[in-house]
Amino acid sequence: MTFHVLQADRRQSMAHPLHDRPAALTVLLPPGGPIDDDLGLAWTWTGENEPPDLVRTVDRIRVFSARTREVIDAHLGRADQVQWLPCELQVGGNTADGGWAVPHFPVVFDVLSEELTTWGPSGLPIRWVLSKNKCQGHSVFALHGVQGQTIVAEPLLAALLEAGITGIAAEPARVDR
């Protein structure tokens, strides 16, 4: 199966944090494990137009509209686990409609090719390559140590495009043969 790196379109404006918080949002969104606390996630949209369905933030957190969540939820693979964390997106000082949420992946899956991935001294991937075998049963996931990117299977990307989801950009992911 083909996989893609799904990101917010860099040509779009960015959303900025509404409240002061730690610069390292990985403290707020730790890899692995469900998040039970209300994190008070909130951003303000800086664009002149309405925000797209996938909003790019200065802190590289993914912010999805309810429309996007519906498409993703309808195409989850048997092994996928996504926890949707509610968040606020303000536009012009008012809270935007759209049921905005941040995807959190409570399980960090071992989906990388050990042989083909280049690993840094910290143990995090520098140049990662997916293992086709390890990705079986997945349609959407994030990689440990790679912030701001979501990996999606080809059928899910096609469904997002067919649904007219805005603000997305995708490029092929490196996958072993």
60 belongs to a structural domain: yes
128 belongs to a structural domain: yes
177 belongs to a structural domain: no
Secondary structure, 3-state, 23-92:
CCCCCCCCCCCCCCCCCCCEEEECCCCCCCCEEEECCCCCEECHHHHHHHHHCCCCCCCCEEEECEEEEC
- Cβ burial, residue 151 (10 Å; 0-12/13-18/19+): buried
What is the tens place of the pLDDT at every residue in 79-105? Answer: 999 999 999 999 988 888 879 999 999
Task: Identify the band that residue 106 occupies on the pLDDT scale cut at 50, 70 and 90.
Answer: very high
Range of the domain at 120: 3-20+29-172
Q: Give the torsion sign (CA, 72, 73, 76, 82).
A: positive
48 belongs to a structural domain: yes
**Cα 15 from Cα 3, distance rounded (Å):** 27
What is the tens place of the pLDDT at every residue in 134-164? Answer: 999 999 999 877 776 799 999 999 999 999 9
pLDDT score for 132: 97
Q: What is the pTM of this model?
A: 0.90
User: Mean pLDDT score of the chain, rounded to an integer?
Assistant: 90
113 belongs to a structural domain: yes
**Cα 61 from Cα 32, distance rounded (Å):** 16
For 116, list phi and psi in degrees, rounded to 5. Answer: -95, -15
Task: Identify the band that residue 30 occupies on the pLDDT scale cut at 50, 70 and 90.
Answer: low
Tally of structural domains, the chain: 1
- Inform me whether the pLDDT recorded for 25 exceeds 60: no
87 belongs to a structural domain: yes
User: Torsion angle, CA of 91/94/97/101, rounded to 10 degrees?
Assistant: 70
At 125 the three-state DSSP class reads strand
